[in-house]
Structure 1
């Protein structure tokens, strides 16, 4: 059952960096409910919510609001993700952007409106803007910080004598550490903008990379394709909603707006993607309640009244009516003959 995730390599890099900034490693792991083994494979997945906790713990522990910006500048993507290896073995920046869009979800899973690309290129009179198309970006502004600081970091390292970012626009309001943005990113930053975008000189789009190797690139791409296939195999939004709802099913009232926010998308995006899967939010919850009710009743370890509570009904009578609608029989009849109820 799916929740948005990040690669374990990126989560581990955050903890490694926090350790260099004075936070005991064991304290970080304990605070976010992880152990070293959870992050031993950089291609494993960590819940996006846990990644966010890592960031918050690191910011509090170091007293550095700009922790995410500093982490991106001081670390290398190729040390934490196969995506970094692919980007660095690409033939040119244009190719690197293509591959970044293709494999971005291996780093951090985010939803993009209409199934489009995470990053698009939009030229204007001031230069070329790399636009981050995450919906509802202000719900997690640190992802915007990480994205743009990472662009600056990688190109600053490869081309130390050439300025990369000309200007940056972000949709979130200026944080308490706003002065750190321009100091770290070395360019003007506009807060409260209408988009999240980074401006570069047009000639960067034709920049070729000296380290290009078609053979090495192919090896990394094959690895990334396999990882992406694994990720997409479990990417049903229905499964993600069920995974989100299950721990709180007994509470009854679960709303789409909260689900969308917790999964990092807008409510409109959630409805649209459910429509693509020929489903509705209410229908997914209804189906989950029916499935869980059948499991509880078939196991015969809880009563009908207890089952009603476990699947979110405050009154047993409402549960009985719903169960008859779902299966054509009462919960008591199903519980007495679970083998027949299972095929109802």
Structure 2
């Protein structure tokens, strides 16, 4: 999804200024990320890919990324926080703050927080909506440090995390463990911040009901306008890709996730010149190319991940899209020798 109505985010005005605190200039970051320097002076939106490039560049310019991100967050000034973050800081308690952060984060970036309370724990996982690329490690560190720092500033207590899981280490691991107050597990398949559930009930000293009465209606209106301006085509296609694995997403499932009736969804798709069936075909085509570029997946697995009941169905669909077999297409993309016809792991078409 690359439409400007969906895949865009605005870099906070104080971002470049605060980078100076860790010895990094915006010019150096943009050069390292191969992005135009005009991003420093123009209030423009960037894509998720460009934003990721910025966060991939930052750790290459400092000696210790972990210590740097801790300093970056803990030294940030509340006066420079965007309204969406202020709404969290002035919430009633830590739980309220996290829920507001989850809701209004969308105003800053196409990112979603999954917050799950279970037993004595509260687990938070991140999901970026417009990309299949993994989130830059330093951006994950930034988000998790910011979420704990929010609780510490709001409660004015030295809260600690219960568990932190990260894809791989970056910089001084001990500095990060000292900040979170727990050991960090690396090498997992996902990034996850686990908090003590009892901390969520802690009252925020910064609670300001009068300010929230001003902020919340304005934020809700902006969020509603943003959602209304999003292309339903792009949203549906993204949901399809997320729901494809091992099954075929139906219109009722997608409509339920969007909080609308099937009839309304069909009407809106028709209004944008498309249909549910056409989008499902496009989503499968996009994902087929992505999976086939991964040599560790065999053709049977690809067919399953795309929701096809058998390989023949996938074989016929792929021939209609690309004019070639999945195996030959993969060989060409990866620069390897085509598999002999009698060795293909897909049934022939008669």
Same fold judged by TM-score > 0.5? yes
Greater RCO structure (CA 8 Å; 6+ sep)? 1
> Residue 163 of structure 1 corresponds to which residue in structure 2?
159
Question: 1:149 aligned to 128, 145, 162, which one?
Answer: 145
Confirm or deny: 8 A CA contact 1:23 1:62 kept in the other structure.
yes
Confirm or deny: 8 A CA contact 1:106 1:228 kept in the other structure.
yes
Confirm or deny: 8 A CA contact 1:89 1:217 kept in the other structure.
yes
Confirm or deny: 8 A CA contact 1:86 1:220 kept in the other structure.
yes
Q: Which runs of 5+ in 1 are unaligned?
A: 113-117, 242-255, 287-312, 315-344
How far off its partner does 1:216 sit? Answer: 0.9
Q: Comparing 211-220 with 133-142, which one deviates more in the overlay?
A: 133-142
- Taking the TM superposition and a 5 Å limit, the aligned residue runs for 1:43-122 are 45-66=45-66, 67-76=68-77, 79-110=80-111, 118-122=113-117
How far off its partner does 1:69 sit? Answer: 4.6
> Is the aligned partner of 1:7 residue 2:7?
no
Q: Which runs of 5+ in 2 are unaligned?
A: 256-268, 270-275, 286-320, 323-350
> Is the aligned partner of 1:132 residue 2:131?
no
Return the alpha-carbon distance in structure 1 between the equivalents of residues 39 and 189 of structure 2.
40
> Is the aligned partner of 1:32 residue 2:35?
yes
Return the alpha-carbon distance in structure 2 between the equivalents of residues 61 and 75 of structure 1.
20
Deviations 1:85-110 (A, max 9, x none): 10122122222232222212123212
> Is the aligned partner of 1:233 residue 2:222?
no
Larger helix proportion of the pair: 1
How far off its partner does 1:167 sit? Answer: 2.2
* Structure 1 residues 154 and 95, CA gap change in structure 2 (3 angstroms): closer
* Structure 1 residues 107 and 272, CA gap change in structure 2 (3 angstroms): farther
SS in 2 for 1:122: strand
* Structure 1 residues 184 and 22, CA gap change in structure 2 (3 angstroms): same
Confirm or deny: 8 A CA contact 2:137 2:168 kept in the other structure.
no
Confirm or deny: 8 A CA contact 1:17 1:71 kept in the other structure.
yes
Return the alpha-carbon distance in structure 2 between the equivalents of residues 284 and 148 of structure 1.
32
TM-score, normalised with respect to structure 2: 0.59
TM-score, normalised with respect to structure 1: 0.60
How far off its partner does 1:159 sit? Answer: 4.1
How far off its partner does 1:194 sit? Answer: 5.5
Deviations 1:259-301 (A, max 9, x none): x7xx9x85848x9599655242655999xxxxxxxxxxxxxxx
How far off its partner does 1:149 sit? Answer: 0.6
Structure 1 runs of 4+ with >6 Å offset: none
Return the alpha-carbon distance in structure 1 between the equivalents of residues 81 and 45 of structure 2.
12
How far off its partner does 1:161 sit? Answer: 4.2
* Structure 1 residues 94 and 32, CA gap change in structure 2 (3 angstroms): same
Confirm or deny: 8 A CA contact 1:55 1:68 kept in the other structure.
no
Confirm or deny: 8 A CA contact 1:68 1:146 kept in the other structure.
yes
SS in 1 for 2:42: helix
SS in 2 for 1:38: coil
> Residue 291 of structure 2 corresponds to which residue in structure 1?
none
Confirm or deny: 8 A CA contact 2:10 2:46 kept in the other structure.
yes
How far off its partner does 1:209 sit? Answer: 2.0
How far off its partner does 1:137 sit? Answer: 8.1
Return the alpha-carbon distance in structure 1 between the equivalents of residues 151 and 81 of structure 2.
17
Equivalent pairs counted in the alignment come to 253
* Structure 1 residues 237 and 61, CA gap change in structure 2 (3 angstroms): farther
